[in-house]
Amino acid sequence: IKKQTGVPCGTGLTPEPDSNMAARALLRSFGGAVPDQNQQVGINADAAVAAREYMARLFKEAVTP
């Protein structure tokens, strides 16, 4: 994102509401939810793993320094 647009990402990763909402939005965008349809926390579900991998790439490649 940053290389293509020149605009860094400003997503947080702290225990406050904005970071929590951003993490949940990423999780949902990959098809996950907390809790899932069975009221379980599926942190190792495929959707959760994909969201975490994307978030890691986002921080590595596009986060504000």
Average pLDDT value for residue range 28-47: 83
In whole angstroms, what is the distance from residue 16 CA to residue 51 CA?
19
Confidence band, pLDDT 50/70/90 cuts, at residue 1: low
**What is the pLDDT, as a whole number, of residue 64?**
64
Percent of the chain with pLDDT over 90: 11
What pTM was estimated for this model as a whole?
0.69
In whole angstroms, what is the distance from residue 55 CA to residue 19 CA?
12
Q: Is the dihedral of CA 64, 27, 31, 59 positive or negative?
A: positive
User: Is 90 exceeded by the pLDDT of residue 30?
Assistant: yes
User: Is 90 exceeded by the pLDDT of residue 58?
Assistant: no
Average pLDDT value for residue range 38-51: 84
